């Protein structure tokens, strides 16, 4: 057996899962550097804007699914064997983390739209790469892709309503 095909110990597997969870949830930490209060509350929003309380539970579920998906890919030989797929995951993760400072921190919804379009493409590329390695991992990213597409449409609507 080669090192990439050797079984991974349960302790290392659990540690890796926890690492992917910590990393993935880390994208949300960019929100601690910006205020989501006054400016956002004053913006005009479309009638289909979700209530504020919905975002926490949705992102909790999505980040968990994302972390498990990345972990499933990692389990298929680690970084060495899955460099492309995991690099795409990290790219979309970084773009995910960037949106909050652009939208809430800099108050730049137009720039945030451009960033979300890049994120949409990166998430789709990640799903495609995951599909080639482990289809279950790709399926776990589908709700995230749908939410990001919805977020893009919402961001566009807010941008257009607040020129």
Number of folded domains that form the chain: 1
Q: Give the long-range contacts of residues 5-14, CB within 8 A, separation 24 or more.
A: 5/77, 8/75, 13/75
Is pLDDT of 114 > 50? yes
Instruction: Kindly state whether residue 148 falls inside one of the protein's structural domains.
Output: yes
Max Cα-Cα span within the chain = 61
Confidence class of residue 2 from pLDDT cuts 50, 70 and 90? very low
Is pLDDT of 19 > 60? yes
Are 119 and 96 spatial neighbours (Cβ–Cβ below 8 Å)? Answer: yes
Segment 121-147 shows an average pLDDT of: 98
Instruction: State how far the Cα of 25 lies from the Cα of 97, in Å rounded to an integer.
Output: 10
Instruction: Kindly state whether residue 34 falls inside one of the protein's structural domains.
Output: yes
> What percent of the chain has pLDDT above 90?
71
pLDDT in tens, 142-156: 999 999 999 999 999
Are 158 and 45 spatial neighbours (Cβ–Cβ below 8 Å)? Answer: yes
Instruction: Kindly state whether residue 17 falls inside one of the protein's structural domains.
Output: yes
| Residue span of the structural domain in which 123 resides | 10-43+54-161
> What percent of the chain has pLDDT above 70?
92
């Amino acid at each position: 057996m080669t090192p990439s095909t050797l079984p991974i110990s349960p302790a290392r597997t659990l540690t890796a899962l926890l690492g992917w969870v910590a990393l993935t949830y880390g994208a949300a930490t960019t929100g601690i550097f910006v205020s989501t209060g006054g400016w956002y509350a004053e913006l005009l929003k479309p009638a289909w804007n979700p209530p504020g309380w919905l975002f926490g539970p949705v992102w909790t579920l999505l980040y968990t699914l994302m972390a498990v998906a990345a972990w499933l890919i990692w389990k298929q030989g680690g970084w060495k064997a899955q460099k492309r797929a995991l690099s795409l995951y990290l790219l979309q993760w970084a773009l995910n983390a960037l949106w909050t400072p652009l939208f809430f921190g800099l108050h730049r919804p137009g720039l945030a739209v451009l960033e979300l379009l890049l994120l949409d493409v990166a998430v789709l590329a990640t799903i495609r790469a995951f599909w080639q390695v482990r289809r279950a991992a790709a399926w776990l990213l589908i709700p995230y892709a749908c939410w990001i597409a919805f977020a893009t449409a919402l961001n566009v609507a807010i941008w257009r309503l607040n020129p």
